[in-house]
Amino acid sequence: MNNGQLIRAIGKSGVNASAVGLGTWAIGGWMWGGTDENQSIAAIQASLDAGVSLIDTAPAYGLGRSEEIVGRALKGRRDKAIIATKCGLVWHTQKGQHFFDQDGKPVHRYLGRDAIFHEIDESLKRLGTDYIDLYITHWQDPTTPIEETVRALEDLRSAGKIRAIGASNLSQNELKAYVATGSLDAIQERFSMIDREIETDLLPVTREQGVSTLSYSSLALGLLAGTIDPHRVFSGDDQRKDNPRFSTSNLLKAKQFAEAIQPVAEKHQASVAQAVIAWTLAQPGVTFALCGARNPEQALENSRAGTIRLDEQDLAALDAAIAVKLTNMDR
């Protein structure tokens, strides 16, 4: 039972998942000011109960912590979930290209066969499963040919360790290289009402090739929900602390936008955030919307968006509000 959730296919893999997915970057704590493990587990389980089957995670989210929490949450419920996790950000080797340091450890972008085979086994252990539904290259590695990376992923698929192949944070040329292999099922990219670059470079390719798109940051790190106090001060390692998007003036604009689309939300007995997520899922080429949640209340709020069906009048009203209220935001 999917509780009325919109269900969509992941490319041509034969794997289907809820159009609204739970993103677990925040659950790993890193760059989000820590995490509450019990609340995180409850959020994942609440998502499943609401019919949200797609659970997206990555080793880099807390250096394995997010995957471990997801694994604990899914114990005894693995069959209810479609797990997406990633490879290509590594700290067990210094091959590839240095990307950043986390908890004092250098993290490299590396998608060589040796690392992918190491990473899949580590992820399977942390997640407490013997297969991953969608395995995604997290960030691209300029030191390894894409064809070599895809051959390794195809071997994992043949071995039954993964069911579908994805790639994230791509240039148009990288996407075309993946598509040329014939093995790509999905991409995962930043997309929201104020982050629409992929509409011109990536989505035309994916639509033509039957490749699914998972959007992340659909609410622009919470900005588009219109619920953040314009005078809020972000602290610690919260990535929004020094982000110009979260200036007082931008937060005020976000609040005005939320007020402008309130009638559409009310028509569907929905919140502004739910209406924004539903709009995201209605965009041509956008197949799934990943939404973060750190407690059951947030998880249930996000899940409701997957049951909303916006009509042409709703979409026209939302597009008009975007054009008037969001085009002059600081980026």
Q: Span 248-257, mean pLDDT?
A: 92
Query: pLDDT-derived band of residue 1, with 50, 70 and 90 as boundaries?
Result: low
User: Over the stretch 141-154, which tens digit does the pLDDT of each residue have?
Assistant: 999 999 999 999 99
Would you name the residues annotated as active-site residues?
61
Q: What is the pTM of this model?
A: 0.94
pLDDT > 70? residue 30? no
Neighbours of 34 (CB within 10 A): 13
Q: Which two tokens stand for residue 182?
A: 């014939």
pLDDT at 32: 46
Nearest to 16 by CA among 74, 85, 81: 81
pLDDT of residue 200 exceeding 60, the answer is: yes
Q: What is the pLDDT of residue 232?
A: 87
Q: Average pLDDT, stretch 130-151?
A: 98
Residue 29: is its pLDDT beyond 60? no
pLDDT tier for residue 214 given thresholds of 50, 70 and 90:
very high
Stretch 73-102: mean pLDDT, rounded?
A: 96
| Degrees to nearest 5, angle at CA 139 with 121 and 240 | 110
Q: What is the mean pLDDT of the chain?
A: 94
CB 326 within 8 A of CB 193: yes
Provide the token pair at 241: 């602390």
Order of strands across the sheet that contains 89-90: 89-90, 105-109, 97-102
Q: Categorize the per-residue pLDDT at 46 as very low, low, confident or very high, splitting at 50, 70 and 90.
A: very high
What's the mean pLDDT in 162-177? 98
Rounded to an integer, what distance in angstroms lies between the CA atom of residue 192 and that of residue 155?
34
| SS3 track for the chain | CCCCCCEEECCCCCCEEECEEEECCHHHCCCCCCCCHHHHHHHHHHHHHCCCCEEECCCCCCCCHHHHHHHHHCCCCHHHCEEEEEECEECCCCCCEEEEEECCEEEEECCCHHHHHHHHHHHHHHHCCCCEEEEEECCCCCCCCHHHHHHHHHHHHHCCCEEEEEEECCCHHHHHHHHHHCCCCEEEEECECCECCHHHHCHHHHHHHCCEEEEECCCCCCHHHCCCCCCCCCCCCCCCCCCHHHCHHHHHHHHHHHHHHHHHHHHCCCCHHHHHHHHHHCCCCCCEEEEECCCHHHHHHHHHHHHCCCCHHHHHHHHHHHHHHCCCCCC
Q: Would you say 230 and 251 are in contact if contact means Cβ atoms under 8 Å apart?
A: yes
Question: How far apart are the C-alpha atoms of 198 and 170, rounded to whole Å?
Answer: 10
